[in-house]
Structures are given as C-alpha cells and as structure tokens.
C-alpha cells in the first residue's frame, strides 16, 4: 500500500531533487566518470590498424584488443555473463543495491540528465516554480535548452553504442554528412530515443516498474546485508529544535525532520519509513543527513549503510555461509574462464562436404570434394599445413600450404581421391588436420565422410 501511494504521489507531482555534496556523491561521480571514459573512449581506440573493441556482426567475429572471437567461442561469452551475474549476487548479499546506486547505466545517465536539468532550469525550488508557472518565452527557452542537451547526449550515446557493432569512425562521418545507411540510422535513432526516454522522461519509473533486479533483490538480502537505512532508535522522535539545544530534554531524537533526505532522493522515497524496494542504494540521503548532523553538532550516521542486526543493536557478521558460497563460486568460475581462454584453440577448422556424392577423376579414381573453412584466431598472420590423419588408401589433392591474416577466415576447396579400387564400405570417416607451420602445437582436427560406390 505504501509503495502504491508513493507511485501515485510521484505521478502527480514529479520528482525534483535538491543539490547536495558529500563523500558518496564524490564516489558516485568518480564511478560515473570511469564508466563514461570506458564507454565513450574505448570505441575510438585502435589496435593493429583496426578498431580495438568491435563486435563485427557482418563478419560474425568479435575483436577485443588483440583477441578475435568467433561464434564458436560463444560459450566463453556466456560464461562471462554468468560470472557477472554471480558477482552482482555477491555484491547484493554484501552491500545491497550499490550496483544500482553507483554503476548502473540507467542510474548514471539519469544523474547526468538531472545535472543538465539543474544547469538549464535551476535548483529544486526554481524547477518546482518553473513547472508550476504558465508558459512564457523564458520557460520555453529553458525547456528547449534542457531537451536539446538531453538529445545531444542521446545521440552521442546511440552513436557510440552502435559504434561497437560497426566501425565507429565511418559511422560518425556518415552520420554528420547525412550519408548514413537506413539500417545504421534506425539503430542510432533507436538508442538515442531509448536514452532520451529512459534517462530523461521515465527515470525512476525504470527502476521502480521495469527493472527485474528490484523485484528479486530481497531474496538475496539477509540480516547482515548492508543497506541504506535510518536508525530509528537514535532518530526518533523527530522534530525541529534550535541548534545547541538538548534534544533529549525535549523528548526528541537526532532527526530534526528537515526532510532533506527525501528532497535529494532520485526515487522520491522517505528512507525513514524503512527498507523499500524503490531504494537504489545511491546514498544521497546519507550525504544530506550527514551535512545536517555536522551543522547541528551531532554525530554522523543517523542514516548510513547498516545491517538489520546493527539496527537492532547487534553485531554485523561479515563472513557468512551465503557470502562465502558466492565468493567461492566466483573464484572457481573466473579460474575456469581463465583456463578456457588459455586453452582456446587458436585455429579452427570446419569441413563441409560437397553436395555431390562422388565423382571419377581423370585417373579413374573415386573422388570427393570438400570445402574447408579455416579461422586464424591469433593476432598475427599464420602459415598452416593441411593433411589427412590415418588415411591409408586416400590422397589429398589441393593446396596443403597456405597463410591466413590475423583474425580472418579462409575457405579452401580440396579433393580426396581413393587409391584402392574396391572400398571396404560405401561411407568411410576421414580426419582433416590443420597445423601451424611455426607452432606445431597449434592444431585443429575436423572429421567428415568419404562416399564411394561398392560396385564399379
């Protein structure tokens, strides 16, 4: 019921956050800065003449600095995503929704859009007055400037995101010269609109109603999980008082009921009502409350990262089975991923048999045609040698020595002739081996069938 009332109030009045300073705000800006540098900067890095990080969907290969991954390596990406999920679970068990408050792209871009709102429309009280004021040239100019900044950030975000899937330099050039293809333009506009709507218009609604993490986070909480919380034993009863007065003599706690903790909250909740699903753990209320406590001469920490045990006067248990279990699973999975990356074959071979069953060559031998697809997964051009394994009575015809550039795939047509006149079976297995000429340990084997008539 409380959450429903909260949603109705937000829909009716909107959320206008107040400016504040503090330790956690500084940390959040630092995390946001790192995220922006990584997101906007990495796409422009070069590596050996190509874009350093590029998911080239057209050629079905993913470049990550010196490594090239192909669809055959998709399981490694799946493993990485599972590791990230377990990491998020472990962080949630330990410190609640700190990911949402400090590193989630939705929260980070929302804070940026809120900063644009402050720059163009003023601080909280000015924005409230502007929202209630009738339309005028001043209001129109401020709103136009705000939405222009939002759209500019949206375009940069959309361009950068699409730039991880198609080379960003020609993409940016085509965009600003109005020569962008229809498909690329659609996706740039799509992610521009998504950024503008999610961070500018929907904001907290994404966290409250669209994000599934808010729904299942409570399952991972325990009585030792650190979450942003208000200490009612110390704060109650609330009430205003003069600075320097003794609140206990007036029957009051340390909370002066200034409501600054509510005014700075990006989701508009009152943290004094207890743990709520809408709290994203950003600690804005902690910074606001600590500033008030400093002015009043009270100890900080009326609102802080606290566990349920600590709020009840107990001791927070830092090492506990659930947290240790997640940590152990993370260590094992990260170790397994590192080993898998180290053992990943740096050359891949696929064999595709021609649709024709067989044919007779000029020497009167039965012959089958194959198309070999060889992938060089290294960062350098490699020379390879092709041969048949344990293929007595068969002979390979075609180019057995060849080179492939770094991160590229080559298609090699070959034929295999049967030297005997009468085959033991109408279908026999063949093993093709591709081996690095300079590093014999780098090899790949693929199998196919050789088809021949039993009676000639």
What confidence score (pLDDT) does residue 322 get?
Answer: 86
Sequence-distant (≥ 6) Cβ neighbours of residue 203 within 8 angstroms? 15, 110, 113, 266
**pLDDT, position 380:** 85
Q: What is the mean pLDDT of the chain?
A: 90
Per-residue pLDDT at 456: 59
Q: 268 - beta bridge partners?
A: none
pLDDT in tens, 259-295: 999 999 999 999 999 888 889 999 999 999 999 999 9
Residue 272 has what pLDDT? 95
Those residues of the chain that have pLDDT short of 70 are 1-13, 455-456
pLDDT at 422: 77
> What is the number of other CB atoms lying within 10 angstroms of the CB of residue 383?
13
Give the pLDDT score at 10.
52
Long-range contacts formed by 206-215: CB under 8 A, 24+ apart: 206/106, 207/100, 207/106, 207/107, 207/267, 207/278, 207/280, 208/7, 208/267, 208/277, 208/278, 211/100, 211/106, 213/88, 213/97, 213/100, 214/97, 214/100, 214/277, 214/278, 215/277
**Quick one: DSSP state of residue 4?**
H
């Amino acid at each position: 019921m409380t959450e429903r009332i909260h949603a109705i109030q937000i829909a009716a009045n909107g959320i206008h956050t107040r400016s504040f300073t503090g330790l956690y705000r500084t940390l959040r800006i630092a995390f946001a800065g790192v995220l922006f540098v990584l997101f906007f900067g990495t796409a422009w890095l070069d590596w050996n003449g190509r874009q350093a990080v590029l998911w080239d969907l057209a050629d079905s290969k993913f470049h990550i600095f010196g490594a090239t991954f192909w669809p055959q390596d998709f399981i490694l990406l799946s493993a990485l995503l599972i590791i990230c999920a377990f990491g998020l679970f472990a962080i949630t068990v330990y410190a609640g929704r700190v990911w949402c408050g400090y590193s989630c792209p939705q929260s980070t871009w929302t804070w940026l859009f809120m900063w644009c709102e402050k720059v163009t429309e003023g601080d909280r009280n000015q924005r409230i007055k502007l929202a209630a004021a009738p339309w005028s040239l001043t209001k129109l100019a401020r709103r136009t400037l705000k939405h222009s900044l939002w759209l500019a950030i949206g375009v940069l975000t959309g361009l950068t995101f699409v730039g991880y899937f198609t080379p960003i330099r020609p993409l940016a050039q085509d965009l600003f010269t109005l020569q962008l293809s229809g498909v690329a333009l659609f996706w740039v506009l799509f992610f521009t609109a998504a950024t503008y709507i999610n961070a500018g218009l929907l904001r907290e609604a994404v966290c409250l109603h669209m994000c599934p993490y808010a729904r299942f986070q409570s399952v991972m909480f325990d009585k030792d999980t650190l979450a942003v919380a208000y200490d009612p034993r110390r704060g109650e009863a609330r009430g205003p008082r003069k600075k320097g007065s003794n609140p206990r003599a007036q029957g009051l706690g340390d909370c002066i009921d200034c409501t600054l903790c509510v005014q700075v909250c990006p989701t508009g909740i009152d943290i004094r009502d207890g743990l709520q699903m809408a709290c994203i753990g950003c600690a804005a209320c902690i910074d606001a409350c600590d500033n008030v406590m400093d002015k009043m001469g009270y100890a900080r920490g009326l609102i802080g990262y606290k566990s349920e045990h600590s709020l009840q006067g107990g001791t927070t248990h830092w090492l506990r089975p659930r947290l240790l279990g997640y940590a152990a699973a993370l260590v094992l999975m990260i170790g397994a991923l590192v080993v898998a990356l180290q053992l990943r074959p740096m050359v891949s071979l696929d064999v595709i048999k021609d649709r024709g069953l067989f044919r007779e060559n000029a020497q009167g031998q039965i012959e089958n045609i194959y198309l070999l697809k060889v992938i060089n997964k290294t960062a350098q051009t490699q020379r390879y040698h092709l041969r048949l394994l344990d293929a007595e009575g068969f002979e390979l015809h075609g180019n057995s020595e060849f080179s492939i550039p770094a991160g590229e795939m080559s298609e090699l047509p070959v034929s295999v002739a049967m030297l005997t006149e009468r085959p033991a079976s109408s279908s026999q297995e063949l093993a093709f081996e591709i081996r690095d000429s300079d590093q014999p340990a780098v090899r790949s084997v693929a199998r196919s069938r050789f088809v021949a008539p039993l009676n000639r």
